A and B are shown apart, each in its own frame.
Chain A
Amino acid sequence: MQQNLLEIDDLTVRLPEGRAARPILDGVSLSVAAGEMVGLVGESGSGKSVACRSVLGLLPERARTDGEVRVAGRDVLTLSRDGLKELRTRQVSMIFQDPRASVNPMRRVGDFLTEGMRAAGVPAAAATDRAEELLDAVGIRDPRGALRRHPHQFSGGMLQRVVIAAALASRPSLLVADEPTTALDVTTQAEVIAILTRLQAERGTGMLFVTHDLELASAICDRVYVMYAGRIVETQAATDLFDRPRHPYTAGLLACTPRVEPDAAPPRPIPGRPVSLAESPSGCAFAARCAHAQERCSVEKPVLRQYDGQGLAACLRADEGILL
């Protein structure tokens, strides 16, 4: 069997006593294969960012963890300092939402791009050449000139390309992107996504794409995981998820997203609000907002189960094929 690049295996993350009533991640399992584009979708507080940061061994302070996060077979959570450094510099790169928060405003873009390569022992001239190539690959005009400029001389979209270039500098096998286009204009988002998907396909990089935008995830990913209140509630191939959601939360997310097509129905809100960290509902966390909830839904915790096809859903009524 082919080994997955990334395997998060039954990961549970708890904040220290008194800071939260429920685990911020509760038995999360997901995988990314080489060359695969995997989406992780959820609203704020769903735990999607915590899950994706765990891949780099970045966890909330004093958090207790159970389970494993394996990158190329090695558990990240038990790595030594040196092991983590090696992981972060060579195997996994991360792109964050706000490019301005990712680069040092006082340093030139060239320094930012070559820093990692220089630390890895690449000679200065070779690192500069490589940085130029990378900037060219992400569609920055006059890459040589760009190396000498400072971050404030770039627009948000251009700077996010620089950040992507830097993330690719170490030729990582896995790229983790946490809402990389959320702060960008729609047309810029399209361009940045085009660059990401092209480079990902060319280099066979595995990618975990974290977003709140189910529509975007379905448009670009091979598979999508949907998270709610720290748990994965559904996973399917992107096209199936869009056409035949299995979990009422996924269906609800699709129905409440405004659509631009001329014949689209008006967005239908999901009542209530997401579960906060101070609440720990017994049974299904979505039951209080779910139109199809029965008595047992607020008692029994649904586990992820396979229904027809490849998808998994954590809903006690998923086999009935209900939709919101």
Chain B
Amino acid sequence: MTAVTAVPETTGASGLVVDGLRKEFGGRAAVEGVSFTLRPGGSLGIVGESGCGKTTTARMLVGLETPDAGTVHLGGRDRSARARGRAERLARAREIQMVFQDPYLSLDPRISVSACIEEVLRLHFPLDAPARRRRVAELLDQVGLGEREAAALPRRLSGGQRQRVAIARALAARPQVLILDEAVAALDVSIQAQILDLLAGIRRDEGIGFLFVSHDLAVVRHITDEVVVLRAGAIVESGPTTSVLTSPEHPYTRLLLDSVPRPGWDPARISAGRRALA
């Protein structure tokens, strides 16, 4: 009924401001008119099912894809146009870091944990070797890893430990925004809760903004303040997480909510609702 478009704040100077983002693949729009604002230190969820454009959106924000239209500003600076020169590319990389879904694929199997984090430090900061080592130990400690893990190759680590390494590596650049693309989806529930706890603590202590890309509404409810719901590349609903998840306006958001299994759950009714919406 109500077509919802998130209007970017006109101040535009602070936070991550995304306006009218569009990306086509093979003549079909994967992302269309996506706009939202992540205030500094805020936490915004991008929710949707596979193919809704949430990962493409995240990739445009970090610069892994170039948008066909629309702009991305961080702290008032435009980062949607192609970066000019190495310095600007590095500066952009430092501002927004990303943690991926699969910690088995996102770490180089031949490089030890400490070397992998040191590389980021060497790239971004003029630290001498002892200072770098101190910072590596500090970062690993922050994500709950010790000396034994620091010396290990990724194959010696569990999925949860690897994801901690990926988070430490992202934090190493001192980013303003951390994009977490399904970062806890591949973990066992008992480990997932540990990582969610860790992330909440990092946000509290460091004031880093989180952009949390996920299909899991329950996880999004606990880690974000605001949420946008994507369907077929476009935003169907957005607003404060609690109000969107308590009184969803769009039937698709309602369907997503109803689909979360719980006692007394009626999958037959949900599939009827899904067909009605298609």
Report the separation of the CA atoms of residues A43 and B192 in the bound assembly, to the nearest whole angstrom. 11
Q: Is the CB of B270 within 8 A of A260?
A: no
Q: Is A266 an interface residue (CB 8 A)?
A: yes
**CB proximity of A187 to chain B, nearest CB, Å:** 5
Q: Is the CB of A242 within 8 A of B263?
A: yes
Report the separation of the CA atoms of residues A270 and B190 in the bound assembly, to the nearest whole angstrom. 5
Q: Is the CB of A258 within 8 A of B255?
A: no
With A242-B263, A260-B260 given, is the CB distance from A273 to B193 under 8 Å? no
Q: Is the CB of B261 within 8 A of A215?
A: yes
B261: which A residues are within 8 A, CB to CB?
189-190, 193, 213, 215-216, 219-220
Q: Is the CB of A187 within 8 A of B246?
A: no
Chain B residues 248-265 with CB under 8 Å of chain A are 255-265
Q: Is the CB of A219 within 8 A of B265?
A: yes
**Residue of A with least CB distance to B160:** A273
Report the separation of the CA atoms of residues A197 and B270 in the bound assembly, to the nearest whole angstrom. 14
A239: which B residues are within 8 A, CB to CB?
263
Q: Is the CB of A43 within 8 A of B158?
A: no
A216: which B residues are within 8 A, CB to CB?
261
A185: which B residues are within 8 A, CB to CB?
49-50, 215
Report the contact-size class of chain A (Cβ under 8 Å from the partner). Answer: 35 or more
With A216-B261, A220-B265 given, is the CB distance from A258 to B193 under 8 Å? yes
**CB proximity of B225 to chain A, nearest CB, Å:** 14
Q: Is the CB of B268 within 8 A of A274?
A: no
Report the separation of the CA atoms of residues A267 and B265 in the bound assembly, to the nearest whole angstrom. 21
> Residue A270 contacts which of B49, B193, B217, B256 (CB distance < 8 angstroms)?
B193
Q: Is the CB of A253 within 8 A of B189?
A: yes
Chain A residues 43-80 with CB under 8 Å of chain B are 43-44
Q: Is the CB of B274 within 8 A of A190?
A: yes
> Residue B267 contacts which of A194, A215, A268 (CB distance < 8 angstroms)?
A194
**CB proximity of B139 to chain A, nearest CB, Å:** 20
Q: Is the CB of B49 within 8 A of A186?
A: yes
Report the separation of the CA atoms of residues A256 and B184 in the bound assembly, to the nearest whole angstrom. 13
Q: Is the CB of A260 within 8 A of B263?
A: no
**CB proximity of A218 to chain B, nearest CB, Å:** 6
With A252-B190, A269-B194, A273-B158 given, is the CB distance from A191 to B274 under 8 Å? yes
- The interface centre, meaning the residue of A194, A218, A238, A258 with most chain B CB atoms within 10 A of its CB, is A258
Report the separation of the CA atoms of residues A181 and B217 in the bound assembly, to the nearest whole angstrom. 17
**Residue of B with least CB distance to A261:** B262
Report the separation of the CA atoms of residues A195 and B219 in the bound assembly, to the nearest whole angstrom. 27
**CB proximity of B55 to chain A, nearest CB, Å:** 13
B102: which A residues are within 8 A, CB to CB?
none
Chain A residues 139-161 with CB under 8 Å of chain B are 139, 156
A188: which B residues are within 8 A, CB to CB?
49
Report the contact-size class of chain B (Cβ under 8 Å from the partner). Answer: 35 or more
A214: which B residues are within 8 A, CB to CB?
189
**Residue of A with least CB distance to B257:** A260
Q: Is B91 an interface residue (CB 8 A)?
A: no
**CB proximity of B49 to chain A, nearest CB, Å:** 4
Report the separation of the CA atoms of residues A257 and B160 in the bound assembly, to the nearest whole angstrom. 16
A156: which B residues are within 8 A, CB to CB?
50
**Residue of B with least CB distance to A195:** B271
Q: Is A198 an interface residue (CB 8 A)?
A: yes
**Residue of A with least CB distance to B270:** A190
Q: Is B218 an interface residue (CB 8 A)?
A: yes
Q: Is the CB of B259 within 8 A of A186?
A: yes
Return the CB mask of B210-223 against A: 1 if under 8 Å, else 0. 00000111110110
Q: Is B188 an interface residue (CB 8 A)?
A: yes
B188: which A residues are within 8 A, CB to CB?
43-44, 212, 274
Q: Is the CB of B219 within 8 A of A187?
A: no
Q: Is B152 an interface residue (CB 8 A)?
A: no
Q: Is A203 an interface residue (CB 8 A)?
A: no
Q: Is the CB of B190 within 8 A of A194?
A: no
Report the separation of the CA atoms of residues A150 and B216 in the bound assembly, to the nearest whole angstrom. 31
Chain B residues 215-238 with CB under 8 Å of chain A are 215-219, 221-222
**Residue of A with least CB distance to B243:** A262
Q: Is B191 an interface residue (CB 8 A)?
A: yes
> Residue A274 contacts which of B49, B190, B216, B267 (CB distance < 8 angstroms)?
B190
Q: Is the CB of A194 within 8 A of B215?
A: no
Report the separation of the CA atoms of residues A185 and B50 in the bound assembly, to the nearest whole angstrom. 7
**Residue of A with least CB distance to B48:** A185
**CB proximity of A53 to chain B, nearest CB, Å:** 19
- The interface centre, meaning the residue of A195, A264, A273 with most chain B CB atoms within 10 A of its CB, is A273
**Residue of B with least CB distance to A243:** B263
Closest 7 CB pairs of A and B: A269-B193, A194-B267, A256-B193, A185-B49, A258-B218, A190-B270, A43-B188
Chain A to chain B contacts (Cβ below 8 Å), 24 pairs: A43-B190, A44-B188, A139-B271, A185-B50, A186-B49, A186-B215, A186-B256, A189-B259, A190-B259, A190-B271, A190-B274, A191-B270, A191-B274, A216-B261, A219-B265, A220-B261, A238-B263, A252-B190, A256-B189, A258-B216, A260-B245, A260-B262, A269-B193, A270-B190
Residues of chain B at the chain A interface (Cβ within 8 Å) = 49-50, 158-160, 188-194, 196-197, 215-219, 221-222, 242, 245-246, 255-265, 267-268, 270-271, 274
19 more A-B residue pairs beyond the given contacts A269-B197, A273-B160, with a C-beta to C-beta distance below 8 A? A43-B188, A43-B190, A44-B188, A186-B216, A187-B259, A187-B270, A187-B274, A189-B261, A190-B267, A194-B267, A195-B271, A215-B262, A220-B265, A242-B263, A252-B190, A262-B245, A269-B190, A270-B193, A273-B158
